[in-house]
Structure 1
Amino acid sequence: MNRATSDTPVPASIDPTKPSIARVYDAFLNGKDNYEVDRQVVQGVLKAAPEARDLALENRSFLIRACRFLAQRTGVTQYLDCGSGLPTAENVHQVVQRINPDSRIVYVDNDPLVLAHGRALLEENENTVFVAEDIFEPEKLLDNATVRSELDWSEPIALLQLGTLHHYNGEETRTRKDIMRAYIDALPPGSYVVISHFLDPQDEHSATARKLEDLFLHSMMGSGTFSTQNELQELFNGLEMVPPGLVRCTDWWPDGPHLKELNAAQRSIAGGIARKA
């Protein structure tokens, strides 16, 4: 697989002078699919808040555990991953198809570099497809011919919004809750909704959370909003939460006990899963 390092020719559709959310996230995970401009965002954030990398790490770990739960415990075999980002270790299809090889995954993103990797996924996995749409335009995305045909909309679907909604900047015209309501209304009964999002813990770590928010919003990336527990709970639009509910990502069925005290970043990203009756 070609790696988009600074020495790699830049595809015509990509502007290497502007950071990309997907590539910045890749850089936080120490990946190689990013450019100097993306690494500058990461370096600027880490210089002011060295623990910030744990936001990406905890989000990725939550994704893996959540997908493992869905595949093992719920019987769901269809996944709509909104804002899938760049491939890294343990993508959704790898986690769920290891448990149920017949699981179907539709990845959605509109980043040109992610699209290039998506085409590669199409070649290697017949149950995995890639769609180029804006995840913040749910009606258009849900009407996409591939989304309609690759998923059976009479059977439960797992909708994933992992580390995506905090990058939405259009609250003046349509809120994140409105966007999620459109998705949830379209899901068949028995479906699941998975969300992870930057959290303002409203405790002694709030100052760090808001500092991180300021760093993200005033970086070249220009997005990364931290929200309170109550604000995040509203995104599930009253669905039945799977225990333990909406909690810090690190506390959602961890693989083992916490042997070290959590830092501010680990306390500042939350996740949860809910079921549509």
Structure 2
Amino acid sequence: MTEPDWAGPVDRDRPSAARMYDYYLGGMHNFAADRELAERVLGTMPEGRLLARTNRSFLRRAVLACAAAGIDQFLDLGSGIPTAGNVHEIAHRANPSAHVVYVDNDPVAVAHSLALLDDDPRCAVVRADLRDPAAVLAHPDAHRVLDFDRPVAILLVSVLHFLTDADDAYGVVERYRQVAVPGSMLVVTHGSSDVELHAGVGAAQELYQGTTNPWGLRTRAEIERFFGDWPLLDPGLVTAGAWRPDQPADPRTASLPLLAGVARRP
């Protein structure tokens, strides 16, 4: 089989959470191993595709809320594989001069992001591990595109549940928050153990242990801790579908184990 030109040097046989998420959203940048495991996950947790779409819809609303608040710089950590409605597309509809930096360590995500951006000077893609804030923040492309002396929106959307206590998850987020000046914003979605869980969530979590990105849930209080002393915008930390919906929220999203919130540094 001919290797797709976007694949690059990547292990096609070990599933990746980024490529499985792409599959849930109907994307094409995934391999047989990703699709096979994703289907097994959907067999235990059928709402997986709805969860992915709900998370993506929240991202759009959160980026627009940041832009409406005057933010024109976005640092998307663990950005994943681009699909329709990427951060720079949303931000540029609100403000054509907005700047965006995508950060991911998945080679497929990085390769496809670079191809999509096509040397747009307002954007950059950094291949790095978000768990190393020093490397991310010191990267020349990050500094070329973003001015950290001005407010920036830090996006950690559906990625923190892949960071364990051993990764010093709270310390990692704190280091990003420390470099953000007043007026900056923090956008988070995170899998929650406080939402009444579908019986298949535990089985799905077990299946992800075989990927490059195993994950774990946190309680509402543990998720809220990531925001530190930054006040949450209304309506606070809520299920992702309930965060400022464009229309009455799909009642099915109320039971999804995914909390979302946006906070701003005073």
TM-score (norm 2): 0.92
Match of 2:128 in 1: 133
Q: Secondary structure at the match of 2:175?
A: helix
Classify 1:263/1:100 alpha carbon distance in 2 versus 1 (closer, same or farther; 3 Å): closer
Within 5 A, what are the aligned runs for 1:110-121?
Answer: 110-121=105-116
Match of 1:216 in 2: 208
Within 5 A, what are the aligned runs for 1:162-241?
Answer: 162-169=157-164, 171-172=165-166, 174-203=167-196, 205=197, 207-217=199-209, 219-241=210-232
CA distance in 2, matches of 1:207, 1:235: 27
Match of 2:88 in 1: 93
Paired amino acid for 2:249 = H
Moved over 6 A (4+): none
Paired amino acid for 1:49 = M
Residues 1:25 and 2:21 aligned together: yes
Deviations 1:66-106 (A, max 9, x none): 011111x2111001011111111100000010110000001
Q: Does the 8 Å contact 1:78/1:105 carry over to 2?
A: yes
Q: Does the 8 Å contact 2:37/2:207 carry over to 1?
A: no
CA distance in 1, matches of 2:104, 2:213: 18
Deviations 1:125-177 (A, max 9, x none): 331111111111112111112212321111100000011111124x23x4211
Match of 1:3 in 2: none
Residues 1:64 and 2:57 aligned together: no
Q: Secondary structure at the match of 1:240?
A: coil
1:12 Cα offset (Å): 4.5
1:237 Cα offset (Å): 1.3
Aligned CA RMSD, in angstroms, stands at 1.9
Match of 1:105 in 2: 100
Paired amino acid for 1:74 = A
Residues 1:252 and 2:247 aligned together: no
CA distance in 2, matches of 1:259, 1:163: 19
Q: Does the 8 Å contact 2:104/2:126 carry over to 1?
A: yes
1:208 Cα offset (Å): 4.9
Residues 1:49 and 2:42 aligned together: no
Q: Does the 8 Å contact 1:82/1:135 carry over to 2?
A: yes
CA distance in 2, matches of 1:178, 1:36: 36
Q: Does the 8 Å contact 1:249/1:271 carry over to 2?
A: yes
Q: List alignment gaps of at least 5 residues for structure 1.
A: 1-5
Classify 1:68/1:222 alpha carbon distance in 2 versus 1 (closer, same or farther; 3 Å): closer
Q: Does the 8 Å contact 1:110/1:132 carry over to 2?
A: yes
Q: Does the 8 Å contact 1:51/1:263 carry over to 2?
A: no
Match of 1:16 among 12, 17, 21: 12
Q: List alignment gaps of at least 5 residues for structure 2.
A: none
Q: Secondary structure at the match of 1:270?
A: strand
Identical pairs, percent: 34
Classify 1:24/1:68 alpha carbon distance in 2 versus 1 (closer, same or farther; 3 Å): same
Q: Does the 8 Å contact 1:177/1:237 carry over to 2?
A: no
Aligned residues: 265
Classify 1:226/1:191 alpha carbon distance in 2 versus 1 (closer, same or farther; 3 Å): same
Q: Secondary structure at the match of 1:241?
A: coil
CA distance in 2, matches of 1:122, 1:108: 13
CA distance in 2, matches of 1:128, 1:153: 15
Q: Secondary structure at the match of 2:154?
A: strand
1:9 Cα offset (Å): 3.5
